[in-house]
Amino acid sequence: MPKTEINFPVRSCAPLCGLVLAIAILNGCGGVSRLGTSSTSDKPSPGAVKVTVTPASTQLRVNAKKQFSAAVSNNSNKTVSWSVNGIAGGNATIGKVDSTGLYQAPVALPSPNFISVEATSAADSTVSASASVTVENPVPTVASVSPASIPMGNFTITATGTNFVNGSVVVWGTKFLTTTFISATQLRATGSATLAGTVKVSVQNPDPGSASSGMLNLVVAAPPPPNVISASIAARFLEQSSWGPNPALITLVRRQGIETASIQSCRMALQFSFRLAQMTAWMQCKPDFS
Q: Encode pLDDT of 19-33 as tens digits.
A: 434 444 444 444 433
Cross-strand bridge partners of residue 158: 146, 188
- Whether 180 and 161 map to the same domain: the answer is yes
Statement: residue 16 has pLDDT above 80:
no
Question: What is the count of structural domains for the chain?
Answer: 3
Among residues 117, 136, 155, which one ends one of the domains?
Answer: 136
Q: Nearest 5 degrees, angle CA 19-CA 24-CA 25? A: 100
Element (H, E) at 133: strand 128-136
Question: 36 pLDDT band (50/70/90 cuts)?
Answer: very low
Reported pTM: 0.62
CATH of the domain at 117: 2.60.40.60
On whether the CB atoms of residues 252 and 228 are closer than 8 A, the answer is no
Which of the two residues, 223 and 145, has the higher pLDDT score? 145
- Whether 159 and 204 map to the same domain: the answer is yes
Domain that holds residue 163: 141-221
CATH of the domain at 216: 2.60.40.10
d(CA 185, CA 138): 12
Question: 39 pLDDT band (50/70/90 cuts)?
Answer: very low
> What pLDDT, on the 0 to 100 scale, is given for residue 215?
97
Statement: residue 116 has pLDDT above 50:
yes
Question: 205 pLDDT band (50/70/90 cuts)?
Answer: very high
> What pLDDT, on the 0 to 100 scale, is given for residue 248?
73
Asked, for residue 4, whether it belongs to a domain, the answer is no
- Whether 216 and 246 map to the same domain: the answer is no
Among residues 195, 221, 247, which one ends one of the domains?
Answer: 221
Helices assigned H by DSSP within 102-219: none
Asked, for residue 57, whether it belongs to a domain, the answer is yes
- Whether 74 and 112 map to the same domain: the answer is yes
